[in-house]
């Protein structure tokens, strides 16, 4: 993932500086206007001789310069102090933001999972080193490209369809995605969710994909074994039903032969004692059908 950049000064900061400057100018203008009006009135009331009036006006002017300079110094110093403190706070926030971004980068780039984010058009906004390695590009080269430029057409369509579903449903979903990578064809369990701005508007998607190829192959092998076992059991069941059916037919034929033998006054040739638990046939009036 690329390191976070320092945010530019906000419009609120510029407006705050302009408001403070305007306040300073208004205070200075108000003080100067009051000084002129009040001082002129005092000079008029206190002195009548032209020479004294001239001297008073001169002293008044110099005093105005001294007082307004001191006032202006205090106001400017206060404004600069406020600006310095605001700058320190902003710098501290930027440092904290940068450190948080570095920590996030360290976590993401240490992960063996593919971590990424895309905009509404499917173009990569950021990705970690593992994602870049799998697609065979650098992080800088992959940013700004979509899946059409990175994967075969059918795979790119599948990825784009899953991304659109996440943004449309506006919720986190998990998919199995099989794609071509630098390690060959791999199957991933991809968890994707909507990426939102400060107002909550969906501006893209984020995703974390974990390689489950080995487990997927194991599950697929177990499914194949289960399917083979089920087919084997079904075949045995069909064979068993067929064998039982043939045995019942033979038992019935043997019973008919025993009946004919009795009718001819001969002993029954077949021992069917194992069928004694079953109800005796209505025509077997001589006994249990067992030869003496």
HSE-up of residue 134 (Cα within 13 Å, Cβ side): 24
Give me the pLDDT at residue 239, please: 67
**DSSP structural state of residue 284:** -
Give me the pLDDT at residue 292, please: 39
Give me the pLDDT at residue 73, please: 84
Tokens 């501006």 correspond to: 203
Q: Give the chain's residues under pLDDT 70.
A: 1-14, 17, 97-98, 100-101, 104, 216-222, 232-233, 236, 239-240, 243, 276-292
d(CA 132, CA 124) in angstroms, rounded, equals: 11
**Those residues with Cβ within 8 angstroms of residue 147's Cβ, 6 or more apart along the chain or in another chain:** 122, 155, 156, 159, 160
Neighbours of 186 (CB within 10 A): 19
270 Ramachandran zone, left/alpha/beta (phi>0; psi -120 to 50): beta
For helices 50-110 and 11-46, give the axis angle rounded to 10 degrees: 170
Q: Which tokens is 241 given?
A: 């039903």
Give me the pLDDT at residue 29, please: 79
Could you read off the pLDDT of 64-120 as tens digits, one per residue?
A: 788 878 877 887 888 788 888 888 888 887 777 667 667 767 777 888 899 999 999
265 phi, psi to nearest 5 deg? 80, 20
Which strands, in side-by-side order, build the sheet including 124-127? 124-127, 114-119, 202-211, 184-196, 173-181
Could you read off the pLDDT of 42-55 as tens digits, one per residue?
A: 777 787 777 777 77
Neighbours of 79 (CB within 10 A): 15
Give me the pLDDT at residue 191, please: 95
Give me the pLDDT at residue 46, please: 80
**Pairing between β-strand 114-119 and β-strand 173-181 as defined by DSSP bridges:** unpaired
Neighbours of 111 (CB within 10 A): 15
């Amino acid at each position: 993932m690329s390191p976070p950049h320092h945010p530019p000064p906000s419009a609120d900061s510029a407006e705050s500086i302009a408001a403070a400057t305007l306040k300073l100018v208004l205070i200075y203008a108000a003080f100067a206007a009051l000084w002129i009006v009040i001082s002129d009135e005092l000079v008029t009331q206190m002195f009548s001789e032209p020479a004294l009036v001239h001297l008073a006006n001169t002293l008044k002017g110099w005093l105005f310069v001294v007082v307004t300079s001191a006032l202006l110094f205090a106001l400017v110093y206060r404004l600069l102090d406020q600006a310095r403190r605001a700058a320190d706070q902003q710098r501290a926030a930027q440092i904290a933001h940068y450190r948080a971004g570095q920590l996030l980068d360290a976590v993401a780039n240490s992960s063996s999972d593919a971590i990424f984010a895309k905009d509404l058009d499917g173009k990569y906004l950021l990705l970690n080193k593992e994602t870049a390695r799998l697609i065979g590009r650098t992080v800088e080269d992959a940013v700004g490209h979509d899946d059409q430029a990175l994967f075969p057409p059918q795979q790119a369509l599948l990825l784009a369809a899953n991304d659109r579903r996440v943004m449309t449903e506006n919720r986190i979903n998990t998919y199995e995605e099989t794609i071509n990578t630098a390690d060959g064809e791999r199957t991933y369990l991809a968890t994707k969710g909507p990426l939102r701005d400060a107002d909550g508007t969906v501006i893209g998607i984020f995703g974390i994909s974990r390689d489950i190829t080995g487990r997927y192959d194991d599950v697929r092998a177990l499914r194949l074994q289960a399917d083979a076992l089920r087919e084997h059991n079904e075949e045995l069941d069909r064979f068993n039903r067929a064998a039982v059916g043939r045995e019942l037919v033979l038992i019935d034929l043997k019973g008919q032969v025993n009946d004919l033998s009795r009718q001819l006054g001969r002993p029954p040739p077949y021992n069917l004692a194992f069928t004694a638990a079953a109800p005796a046939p209505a025509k077997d009036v001589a006994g249990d059908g067992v030869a003496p």
